[in-house]
Amino acid sequence: MHKAAQRRIIVPFLLPALALLGVFFLYPLVKTVDLSLHEFSRTGATTFAGIEQYRLLAGDPDFFNSLKNTFLLTLIGSGMLFPPAVAIAWALSQRIHGERFFRFVVFAPVVLSVAVVSLMWKFLYHPTLGLINPALESMGLGALAKTWLGDPATALAAVTFVSVWHGIGIWVVLLCAGFERLPTDVLQAARIDGAGEWRVFRSIMLPMLRDLMRMLAILWAVQSLQTFAFVYILTGGGPFGSTDTVGTLMYRVAFDRADFGYAAAIGVALVVVMLSVAWLLNKVMKRDDLQY
Amino acid sequence: MVEIARKLLVGLIVVPCLALTACGGGGAPAPAAEKAPDAKTWQQEIKGGPIEVGVLPAVGTPSLKFLEEVAAGLEKDHAGADVKQTFANTKARPALEQRWRAGDAPDVDYTMFDGTNPALLEWADSGALLDLKPYLDQVDSTTGKPWLEQFSPAVLQFMEHPATKKIYGVPSELSLQVLFYNAGLFEKHGITPPATWDELTKAADALKAAGVDPIAVTGLFEPYMGMWSDNLWLRTVGYEKAYGVLTKGEGAITDDPGFLTGLQMLQDLRDRKSFLKGFEGTDFTAAQAQFFQGKAGMILMGSWLVSEMADAIPADFKLGVLPFPGVTGGTGDQSAMLAAAQLMSISAKSGNIPLSLEWIRRVTSVETQSRRAERIGEVSAVKGVPSPPGLPGISDVVGKADRLQAAYYGLLQSKAKDVVYPEIAKLLFGKQDAKQTLENLDKGLRRVHGN
């Protein structure tokens, strides 16, 4: 009786959130699936096509190339993002002089717009007029100078680096919050027992941050699988498709070719991929709660 | 009770979704369309009111300032007229096209029609655009001739629907693909401006020997690299055949040996190291700037280059303009030029068609076009307009062209674009030779055209 009364109270409180979820998430999702079952003309006229778009998608090498690039970007990006983010967050969680200044420096790029950051890095990466290659040459490391955005071997990593550079501040803030929530008595006990800082970090802090890391890994995967703006501005998906992601392909198909049905099918496939990756990461990284 | 609550929750989510889905297909209600005015009396029917016109120049550019002056003149002459200018160039196209689909189109817009591009006939076929032919056939009081006769006959193919012969676009400017060269640099090193491909390679070698990168090109925008293969194929294959194979999927690219010849010539240019150092990672603005800084001797670009880079061109820079070099023994069109007309179209649903017609009449008048050519450096499609002083020799170049053909072969709106230009980029980047490029093009084109 008491539970039933509780439920009656909960429902009205949930309604606003559910209505928002319905209008801004479920409706677009349902609509996208609906679009993917149609063929569009440039003027927007539609004809029902059934699963034809999905059949085409299954044999489209451009889609699989973009999917491969998107996964690579996610993987390379996680390598570029998490080790430095954890190291910076750990350093900032220590009582260091000028901590506020360092926090500002790390967080500052986050407030810049993607367009500004992309154009800035486009200049920095320029093979002859930029700053990176001349700097390498002046240090006697001319052999490392590359046409960063123009070489299929480096372009994806170069774009990923810009994306990580721009966003790392957010991840550092989240990790700092994680470090600050660690129980100080456990850490002190380890130090009293003679553990060095590296040992404390490796054997106590990291295991205790596992849940947070799992969440951050899922967030990164979901975010990077949707990558669009940096690629669009820096390389447009080139050279010859080596940085084309599912997002840029979808944009091109929808707005250059006005093929909204096919673009919607790509979008639905991306949702399925993202949900699968999130589920898999959650499953693989899930561990029993630590008791202390 | 729990069951009722659950059903209520499901209903609250699903019903709005289904309702929105049901309503979503129709788009926004179209604004009340004005009946098209009588072609003979439309100028007497001009009345004030708001119109929205698409413009190509970006905010802050001299080109936009010029158009703002034209708009101010229109507002002054017609009480109550209010001309809103909306950026309508490449990056804004997706949003604007969505507005057309939703029935909320600007009164005047660009890129809605091109008689040479099958992908851009749909808007006209669907009745979204106003047929301008009846108005263009009327005698213009200022010239005493039909309005249509004001335009160069070479641009009629862009303005006219190939099947119905109706006209859906009027050109505000013409973009020609030409070979720009640094005339000062050529004079300094005693290099002859190239008229043929052999002369081009010689000029490239001479520039290289003088320590200057011969040709500026961007590696970050594939269609601009594709200008080289497009123009070579124009000379070695011919427009109609190349258009048929690349855009319409008629036959195979291996059928005509001219395609391979063109690719081999491009490979030869690459192997001579004729392109700007580091072009692979150079943006097109940077490539253009490097040309004007004297770091490269030539650049193949649209005639908009001068107006686009006006602020970056040194005062003492001596510019030369040439048509794309001819190919001795080439079986294609040796005197044709690749070009695009920037066409203004009027929405058939415009709420003020007479004022919209007056806008395009003013923008394309000889007087406006002449001032624009002089101040901004745009090439006009209107007869009797002098060549822009910033583009020395352009009238000569256009005069020698026996035909203007559609730039990019209409590939930019087709699936084949993602096949052709990446393969050309691979060739220029040294990732494959001409034969491999042809094989990959053949494979890719067969896939997208299904032949």
**For the segment A48-68, what is each residue's pLDDT rounded down to a tens digit?**
999 999 999 999 999 999 999
Contact B429 A254 (CB under 8 A): no
**Closest approach of chain B CAs to the CA of A98, in angstroms?**
38
Inform me whether the C-beta atom of residue A134 falls under 8 Å from chain B C-beta atoms. no
B22: in domain? no
Rounded to a whole number, what is the distance in Å from the CA of A1 to chain B's nearest CA? 10
On whether both B329 and B228 belong to a single domain, the answer is yes
Q: Determine the residue type at B164.
A: T
* Residue from the list B24, B101, B220 with its beta carbon closest to the beta carbon of A235: B220
CA-nearest residue of chain B to A1? Answer: B1
Closest among B112, B62, B50 to B344, alpha carbons compared: B112
Q: Do A149 and B13 touch (CB under 8 A)?
A: no
Q: Is pLDDT at B10 greater than 70 in this prediction? A: no
Q: With residue B187 as reference, give the H or E element that holds it.
A: helix B183-188
> Are residue B185 and residue B322 in the same domain, yes or no?
yes
Is A241's Cβ below 8 Å from some Cβ in B?
A: yes
- For the stretch A87-100, pLDDT in tens is 999 998 887 788 88
pLDDT at A290: 62
Domain boundaries, chain A: 33-285
CA distance B117 to B306: 26
Residues B187 and B330 in one domain: yes
pLDDT score at A255: 87
pLDDT of residue B7: 53
Determine how many CB atoms are found less than 10 A away from the CB of residue B26: 9
B16, B94, B101: residue with CB nearest A44: B101
Residue A1 confidence (pLDDT): 58
Buried b (16+ CB within 10 A) or exposed e, A40-74: bbbbbeeeebeebbbeebeebebbebbbebbbbbb
Structure tokens at B88: 């309508």
Q: Do B13 and A22 touch (CB under 8 A)?
A: yes
Residue B185 lies in a domain: yes
Contacting residues of B for A154, CB less than 8 Å apart: none
Q: What is the DSSP string of B57-87?
A: SPTTSHHHHHHHHHHHHHHHHSTTEEEEEEE
Q: Are B223 and B184 contained in the same domain? A: yes
| B415 and B396 share one domain | no
Q: Are residues B118 and B208 in the same domain?
A: no
Q: Quick one: B254 and B184 in the same domain?
A: yes
Closest CA to A249 of B437, A264, A234: A264
Contact A122 B283 (CB under 8 A): yes
pLDDT of B235 strictly over 80: yes
B336, B337, B342, B346 alpha-carbon torsion, rounded to 10°:
10
Structure token pair of residue A2: 């008491």
pLDDT in tens, B401-423: 888 999 999 898 888 998 999 99
Helix (H) / strand (E) element for B171: namely strand B170-182
Structure tokens at B291: 């040309």
Q: Residues B159, B181: one domain?
A: no
Q: Identify the band that residue B32 occupies on the pLDDT scale cut at 50, 70 and 90.
A: low
- What is the average pLDDT across B128-141? 93
3-class DSSP state of A46: strand
Percent residues over pLDDT 70 in chain B: 92
Smallest CA–CA distance from A21 into chain B, residue: B13
Burial class of B108 by CB neighbour count within 10 A (0 to 12, 13 to 18, 19+) = buried
Flag whether pLDDT at B11 surpasses 70.
no
Does the beta carbon of B119 lie under 8 angstroms from any beta carbon of chain A?
A: yes
Residues B165 and B155 occupy one common structural domain: yes
Fold annotation for A33-285: MetI-like fold (1.10.3720)
Owner of token pair 């093009």: B441
Q: What is the mean pLDDT of residues A195-217?
A: 91
CATH number of the structural domain spanning residue B426: 3.40.190.10
Is B1 inside any structural domain? Answer: no
The overall average pLDDT reported for chain A is 91
Give strand pairing partners of B170. B344
- Chain A: closest CA distance from residue B237 (Å): 25
Say how many domains are in chain B.
2
Question: Quick one: pLDDT at residue A195?
Answer: 87
Q: Which residues of A touch B347 (CB under 8 A)?
A: none
Residues B398 and B413 in one domain: no
Output DSSP code: residue B313: S
- Interface contact A240-B286, CB threshold 8 A: no
Q: What is the mean pLDDT of chain B?
A: 89
Average confidence (pLDDT) over A29-46: 93
B22 confidence band (pLDDT: 50, 70, 90):
very low
Record the tokens describing residue B131, joined without a space: 């047929």
How confident is the model at residue A7, as a pLDDT? 79
Tell me whether B9 touches chain A (CB under 8 Å). yes
**Above pLDDT 90, what percent of chain A?**
74
Q: A33 pLDDT exceeds 60?
A: yes
Looking at the fold, whether B293 and B427 belong to one and the same domain comes out as yes
Contacts of A156 in chain B (CB under 8 A): none
Taking CB atoms and an 8 Å cutoff, what residues of chain A touch B277? Answer: 127-128
Quick one: pLDDT band at residue B6, thresholds 50, 70, 90?
low
In a domain, B24, yes or no: no
Look at residue B195 in the predicted model and tell me its pLDDT. 95
Give the residue on B whose Cα is nearest the Cα of A6. B2
Tell me the pLDDT tens digit for each residue of B272-316.
999 999 999 999 999 999 999 999 999 999 998 988 888 889 999
Domain extent at residue B186: 177-339+408-449
Q: Is residue B341 a contact partner of residue B169, using CB atoms and an 8 Å limit?
A: yes
pLDDT computed for residue B25 by the predictor: 42
Does residue B79 have a pLDDT over 90? yes
For the segment B43-51, the average pLDDT, to the nearest whole number, is 91
What is the distance, to the nearest Å, from the Cα of residue B185 to the centroid of all Cα atoms in its chain? 29
Residues B60 and B74 in one domain: yes
